[in-house]
Structure formats: structure tokens, C-alpha cells
Amino acid sequence: MQSARRLLFAITLALLALPLVACDTPKPPPPREYILTSPYRGACTLAVAPVINQSGSREFDPLAVSDTLFAQLQLVDGLTVLPINKTLAAMQRLHMHSIESPQAAQQLAQAMGADAIVVAAVTAYDPYRPPTVGMVIQLYTAQSMAPVFTPAYVSEPVARQIGGNPLPNSDPTPPPISAPAPDALLVGQPVAQAAAMFPANNQTVLIELREFARGRTNYESALQEEQYLADSEAYMQFVCHAMVRRLIQVERTRMTGR
């Protein structure tokens, strides 16, 4: 018994003599932000229509998705986005129960004093892991056709369409033009549109999701980045962010011609 105690004491002293090993807590990855800026030359005010459910599923709240889309649009630098409550109040004044046509969307934007209105629809929805969300998003100008949406440059076919002079072949850079004729942006047609499907079992979607999760994840949680796959509302935040990015890119391409 005495020898066993001496052995235990010797082991304890040996362990205390070992150098301490620093156990640093893993640091969360730095934020990875997609910096979204307005593609327009001047100030622009957008309204947001209530999101339309075209998925056949009743497992999500369209107004909650509308609020999520509104929050992501607010993150775009240079845009003023009107709250959903203002849209609902304007629809009530117009006795408009839903956005049933492009003309209705443009009328609503006009009534709200907005330059344009964003209309989105959820086309597919499955909240169970792996979640799947499909969405289409469109941008309609108000019926007054605000000049802010006039492209800085136009191609030759568009110049001919709106009554401009054909561009000389020797000049590869189209010159800037003035405000368009009334038929330049057709009434009832979106000026921009994006559509995408986000199945969480697709590797390309997962890569984009991980980029979105960087800097937004609670790394003290056991789920960490997996929270976006386990929480349908969190996954919808990712989808709305991705759709806003796509819409801004489409508009930037249209406005600049590249």
C-alpha cells in the first residue's frame, strides 16, 4: 500500500512538471460579405409586394417571407425600401387583395410614390432537411416610368426601338442617351427578373450557403453553420439574400450594358 502511494505521488509530480499546452478556442472565420450597392445613378425608392405562394405548400407564412425579403433589400446600399405595412395599407386603399397582373404591380408602385416595386413568388418549398426553396423575383417600374431606371448606355437595337440614331460601327462604346421615349420600358413588363432553385442537397447551393453563413453564425452553438439547414426561417434568409444579389446583378448588367 505504501509503495502504491509513493508511485502515485511520483506520477503526480511528473505530470505537474510537464509544460502546459495552450488550448486556444478555435476562432470563428471572418465575415464573408457580398457588398451590395444600388445599380442606379440616383436615389431610388422601392416598394415590396407581399410574396406570392405558388408552391402549393402551406407550411410557410408569405408575409413572414415578405419581411425577410424586405430586410435583405434594406441591406443594399443606395436603396430606400418602403416597409411591407405601407404596401398592405396601399393595397387596402386600392381594394387590391393580391398582385394579379403586372399592371396591378405598377399601379401599386405609383400609388405608393415608389420608383418601382419588387414582386416575388415562392415556386417550391420543402422545409424538411435537406430544405428546398424555389423563388422568382421581378422588378416593375411605376407607371410614371421614373428616369432613374434609364440605362446609361443602350445597344443599337434598343436605340432604334426608342427612336434614337443607329450607332456608328467604328465606335465600340455606345454614347449615353437622354430619357427614353414612353415605349422604351413596356407597360406590363418587368425591367428585371431572376429565378432560381435552392435545394440544400446541391453542392453549388451548399457552397453559396457556407459563404453566406460566414460571419453570421453563432459559433457557440453546437449547430454552428448547420443552423441554416435545421431552421427553415434561417434558410429563407439565405434564399432571399441570394435572390436580391441576383436581381441587383441583372439590373447592373442592364444599366451598364456589361
In this structure, of 57-61, 62-66, 161-165, the range with the lowest mean pLDDT score is 161-165
187 confidence band (pLDDT: 50, 70, 90): low
Strands 116-126, 52-53: pairing is parallel
Check residues 203 and 98 and name the one with the higher pLDDT: 203
CA distance 31 to 213: 8
Identify which of 30, 202, 87, 210 has the alpha carbon closest to the alpha carbon of residue 133: 202
Identify which of 212, 243, 241 has the alpha carbon closest to the alpha carbon of residue 225: 212
Q: What is the mean pLDDT of the chain?
A: 77
Say if residue 237's pLDDT is above 60: yes
Parse the chain into domains and list their residue ranges.
30-146+157-166+184-256
For range 126-150, the mean pLDDT: 83
6 confidence band (pLDDT: 50, 70, 90): low
Strands 79-81, 52-53: pairing is unpaired
Please give the class, per CATH, of domain 30-146+157-166+184-256.
Answer: alpha beta
Say if residue 179's pLDDT is above 70: no
29 confidence band (pLDDT: 50, 70, 90): low
pLDDT recorded at residue 23: 47
pLDDT recorded at residue 212: 86
pLDDT recorded at residue 118: 96
pLDDT recorded at residue 111: 93
For range 197-221, the mean pLDDT: 81
Q: What percent of the chain has pLDDT over 70?
A: 64
For range 225-243, the mean pLDDT: 89
pLDDT recorded at residue 170: 34
